[in-house]
Amino acid sequence: MEPILVFENNKPYIVERFLAGEVDRVEVVQEVLQRDFFEGINSRGILKSLAESYPWPWKHQEIPCWFYLAASMAMRLHGNHAFHGFPWVVATGGLIPAFGPELGVRDTDPETGETRVRCPGFNKKNKKERETPCDQDTLRKAARGTESADLLAWFNGDVQRLLRSKRFFDKQGVFVGDASHIFVPDNDKYEGSARLLFDENNHPVSSKELKRMDPAKAARCAWRRCYKLVSLIHTDLEGSFFTYAAIALVPGNAHESPILWSMVDNFVGEMGTGVIKRLILDRGFIDAESVGNAKSVYGIDVTIGVKRNMHVYKDAAGLCSFEDTEWHRYLPGEDDGGAEANRGEPEAAPAKSRELWVAKAEGVTSFEGCAVPMNVAICTESRDPAARGSWAVMSTCRDMGAVEMLLHYKLRTCIEERHRHIKCFWDIAQFKSTNFNLVTHQVVMTLLTYSLLQMHFFRTGKKHLNKTTKPRMAERLKPVASYIMVVKGQYYGWFSTYEYTAMVLDVPEEARERLRMRLRELSKMLGRMMGMPGP
């Protein structure tokens, strides 16, 4: 292996050469985040263990499985989900710095003076120098060849056992179950997808609801094709991290309740009792028998929303109607669970800025089919459980007070923000293929990367970043993404967007044409690396 060429940070020299119209490379770099992330999971043996258990689709491996997983995660960190963009991920990301010269080197071409990437590859078939450790099509074929069922079973089983062995599961044992639709283009070739009617807020609308709906509101409904992601998410009472403990990807019209309870059974079967201590769910997962079994068989305390037409609500409301009922003041925050608990009810949710009152009915046994009594916390504006807009949550936990139950349930609404992050900033729905194996690959690799990064920040004292969006996360990790790197020869310099823009404006007239031609050459080079035509 040829020696690595050392690059030196020399910002004044870079400014001088740039103003003279001389530059080898200009790139937005995500290297720091990727390098630190991969060094973290590699040093702790996580990447190696993931590779050992991965359900590789063939007997022979053209590339090491650890690299396939690292490359898949690097694409998620880089925000590039298309396999033909893999060369750009290698060129500007942290794979090579994290794994060293055996994977590849960056040096300067002695003839052109340009920075180049040279990779030896993983076999002796290569007759020419490579710009990537493997061909992007090799990654695509491996992802397509891995059956979706095998990949999900791996994530829900082997991955979670590994994470437990690395102490990724908090002793508080707080888990949240939820389901969310993932929308795709209206193309019936998306394998395993379903086409449903949604209102303007992207809530599914049944035929009965459509008939009762105001004509103007009904006109704003639209048919959309989608999958449904059912997930079991691990967090703590402070919301310091959010990691995916189990997932299922099903057609958009599948009912999430039996799927989630089956995931809970499988998780306890894999991990044993005591890992999940508290399970928080919305009303879509109401299943009296499963709630009772969770408490009596697994020792899991379930906190779940209540529908107003349920007997358990009516009985709790009756118990809280007596004059000696103890009411407590409750000031909901912006993410209060009341609005969510009341979603779909004909009554409007209470205004979030108003003072509310909450009382608890203990030992209610009218949750038909449930083997254990429930404590029910009823929230209302007027201390009247029968008033319009009142709502409730119930729990099998006997030790929580009424306000504590609502604060506990409030964690469930935080999961909505996680879904927004995954969809809007991690681009989980940017599927480049309609093949279900590839769709599942993107979902699993995105959530695996997200979960490992959450714990990486938590373990390295940066847990405040876990609640931020991906762009904000990048801004807080200088020089990740918010800085532009300019390279000339063996020297480089970091520039903020404003610094770089000002430097461009300062280029003297005699050097502008030279710089313009050089930037066009670099743009064409980037297009060739990504398999795209240059400008």
Hey, what are 193's tokens? Answer: 């997808």
More confident residue, 493 or 199: 199
- pLDDT tens-digit map of 422-452: 787 778 888 889 999 999 999 999 999 989 9
Please tell me the distance from the alpha carbon of residue 215 to that of residue 511, in angstroms, as a whole number. Answer: 64
pLDDT-based confidence at residue 8 (cuts at 50, 70, 90): low
- pLDDT tens-digit map of 256-279: 999 999 999 999 999 999 999 999
Kindly tell me if the per-residue pLDDT of 130 is higher than 90: no
Q: What DSSP state is assigned to residue 83? A: G
Using alpha carbons, list the distances in angstroms from residue 8 to 107, 111, 267, 491. Answer: 12, 21, 49, 5
**Region of poorest pLDDT, from 89-103, 282-296, 384-398:** 89-103
Write down the pLDDT at residue 345: 36
pLDDT-based confidence at residue 349 (cuts at 50, 70, 90): very low
- CA angle, 468 then 439 then 51, to 5°: 80
Write down the pLDDT at residue 526: 54
- Region 457-466 average pLDDT: 70
Write down the pLDDT at residue 351: 41
pLDDT-based confidence at residue 335 (cuts at 50, 70, 90): very low
Single out the residue of 359, 528, 436, 27 nearest to residue 193, CA to CA.
436
Q: With beta carbons less than 8 A apart as the criterion, state whether 343 and 305 touch.
A: no
Kindly tell me if the per-residue pLDDT of 27 is higher than 70: no
Please tell me the distance from the alpha carbon of residue 469 to that of residue 408, in angstroms, as a whole number. Answer: 24
- Region 236-260 average pLDDT: 93
Kindly tell me if the per-residue pLDDT of 494 is higher than 80: no
- pLDDT tens-digit map of 368-397: 999 999 999 999 988 888 888 899 999 999
- pLDDT tens-digit map of 160-180: 999 999 988 999 999 999 999
Write down the pLDDT at residue 138: 92
Kindly tell me if the per-residue pLDDT of 55 is higher than 80: yes
- pLDDT tens-digit map of 109-126: 667 666 677 888 887 666
Write down the pLDDT at residue 3: 36
Q: With beta carbons less than 8 A apart as the criterion, state whether 116 and 490 touch.
A: no
- Region 301-319 average pLDDT: 94
- Region 209-236 average pLDDT: 93
Write down the pLDDT at residue 339: 35
Hey, what are 192's tokens? Answer: 């395993």
- CA angle, 82 then 86 then 87, to 5°: 140
Bridge partner list, 376? 361, 394
Please tell me the distance from the alpha carbon of residue 522 to that of residue 151, in angstroms, as a whole number. Answer: 39
Crossing angle (nearest 10°) for helices 46-53 and 31-43: 70
Please tell me the distance from the alpha carbon of residue 490 to that of residue 486, in angstroms, as a whole number. Answer: 11
pLDDT-based confidence at residue 334 (cuts at 50, 70, 90): very low
Q: What is the DSSP string of 394-444?
A: EES-SS--HHHHHHHHHHHHHHHHHHHHHHHTS-TT--S---HHHHHHHHH
Write down the pLDDT at residue 53: 96
Q: With beta carbons less than 8 A apart as the criterion, state whether 210 and 218 touch.
A: yes
b vs e for 318-342, b when ≥16 Cβ sit within 10 Å of the residue's Cβ?
ebbeeeeeeebebebeebbbbbbbb
- Region 48-67 average pLDDT: 93
Which range among 19-23, 91-95, 493-497 has the greatest average pLDDT? Answer: 19-23
Domain ranges of the chain: 1-28+481-535, 30-146, 147-276+425-476, 300-410
Hey, what are 163's tokens? Answer: 């994470």
Hey, what are 488's tokens? Answer: 């000339």
Hey, what are 189's tokens? Answer: 């070739």
- pLDDT tens-digit map of 503-534: 999 999 989 998 988 888 877 765 554 343 33
Write down the pLDDT at residue 435: 96
Report the amino acid identity of residue 75: M
Using alpha carbons, list the distances in angstroms from residue 319 to 325, 361, 400. Answer: 8, 6, 18
Mean pLDDT (the chain) is: 83
Q: Strand 391-395 vs strand 356-364: parallel, antiparallel, or unpaired?
A: unpaired
Neighbours of 56 (CB within 10 A): 15
Please tell me the distance from the alpha carbon of residue 530 to that of residue 400, in angstroms, as a whole number. Answer: 56
Write down the pLDDT at residue 126: 64
More confident residue, 40 or 317: 317
Could you tell me where the beta strands, DSSP code E, fall in 67-199? 105-108, 115-118, 174-184, 194-198
Side-chain half-sphere exposure of 287, counting CA atoms within 13 A: 17
Side-chain half-sphere exposure of 280, counting CA atoms within 13 A: 24
Please report, in angstroms and rounded to a whole number, the separation of the first and last CA atoms in the chain.
36
**CA 478 centroid distance within chain:** 22
pLDDT-based confidence at residue 35 (cuts at 50, 70, 90): confident
Q: Is the bond into 55 cis (omega within 30 degrees of 0)?
A: no
